[in-house]
Amino acid sequence: MSGAPAIGRAATEGPYFEDLEVGQVGPAAPALTLTEGHAALHQAILGDRLRLALDATLAARVCGEGAAIAHPGLVWDVAIGQSTLLTRRVIGNLFYRGLALRRAPRIGDTLRTVTEVVALRQNRAKPGRAATGVAALHIRTVDQEERPVLDFWRAAMLPLRDPAGETGHADDLAAVGGELEGATLAAPFAGWDLAAYRELVPGPHFADLQAPRTWAVEGGDVVSSAPELARLSLNVAGTHHDAAAGGHGQRLVYGGHTIGIAAAQLTRALPSLVSIVAWHSCDHLGPVFEGDTLRSEVELERAEPLPGGGLVHLRSRVRADRDAAPAEVLDWRLIGLLA
């Protein structure tokens, strides 16, 4: 038709590594209101067993009346998912640093996330491999009243548009992240009645544990419904949805899926865990694929007393059993709250 505008094609897959700049803020993902439906699907996929997220009567007694407490894993999955508009082309997530809950959201809260590029490092060229780089992102999540919910750093490996390109980016990724202090970590839970939790929930509780101690979690968990979890959390990274988008010949499981299963296995070792409040670090050691069976070992590294209970500094090491050979896939150092 004469005079009709030309129909063009616009790429929607997100930036390549050389498109990023330090200080760049990513596009805004949709805000997400947490619902009982989100909580139920999240629990079905990962097997969440934190009592406060499952038992509304217990949560009301310990945390005060109001809407149900949201599982912290649901909260961090949504925050990570909202940060993926900058990393749609991600090859793999390498690490997380300094993740800390600033408050404990409830069902009905709305989460919104801002993602900023804070460091860039191009990887050393390897024969026969296309050029890649690592982008370190600072991620901040707030609720509907602009109250801080999460603050953390994530590092994602991305391809260059030019397979032989050179950007000169060489930032020190070891400097990314911040230290976590006990007083800051305990603040969001200061109003909780930990004495009531001790009374109502069987132990072991904080006073019953002494570091070092290790638990080998018996029994593994198969990874299933991987794209469903990515969709639930608004994660748009192509490699989690499209087998052709990554370099593995199959979909790569979202790293938070592995972390979520590790969290569920942790509560089998420590069934009295009140909540997970922070991560010192989380390193992805290898890829995970749907159908893998994950097994974990949990180590209590340090115990830090607080009024009414305490923080436990834990390390979860996860391996994937698959047909070829078992592979170490996760090294997660987290902080839990015990009564």
* Whether the Cβ atoms of residue 101 and residue 187 lie closer than 8 Å to each other: no
Task: List helix spans (H) across the chain.
Answer: 36-46, 51-54, 56-63, 72-82, 182-186, 194-200, 226-232, 255-269
* Whether the Cβ atoms of residue 122 and residue 90 lie closer than 8 Å to each other: no
Q: Is 225 helix (H, G, I), strand (E, B) or coil?
A: coil
- Cα separation, 337 vs 189, in Å, equals 9
Q: Which residues pair with 295 in a beta bridge?
A: 319
Task: Point out the residues of the chain with pLDDT beneath 50.
Answer: 1-6, 8-10
- Cα separation, 330 vs 304, in Å, equals 24
Alpha carbons within 13 angstroms on the beta-carbon side of residue 237 total: 30
pLDDT computed for residue 4 by the predictor: 46
- Cα separation, 17 vs 20, in Å, equals 6
Interval 154-200: pLDDT, tens: 999 999 999 889 999 999 999 998 778 777 898 899 899 999 999 99
pLDDT computed for residue 5 by the predictor: 44
Q: What pTM value is reported for the model?
A: 0.93
pLDDT computed for residue 6 by the predictor: 45
| Orientation angle between helical segments 72-82 and 36-46, nearest 10 degrees | 100
Domains of the chain, first to last? 17-338 (3.10.129.10)
Alpha carbons within 13 angstroms on the beta-carbon side of residue 233 total: 31
pLDDT computed for residue 11 by the predictor: 54
- Cα separation, 31 vs 10, in Å, equals 24
CB atoms inside a 10 Å sphere around CB 132: 20
Q: What is the DSSP letter of 177?
A: S
Let me know how long the chain is.
Answer: 339
- Cα separation, 284 vs 221, in Å, equals 18
Interval 18-69: pLDDT, tens: 999 999 999 999 999 999 999 999 999 999 999 999 999 999 999 999 999 9
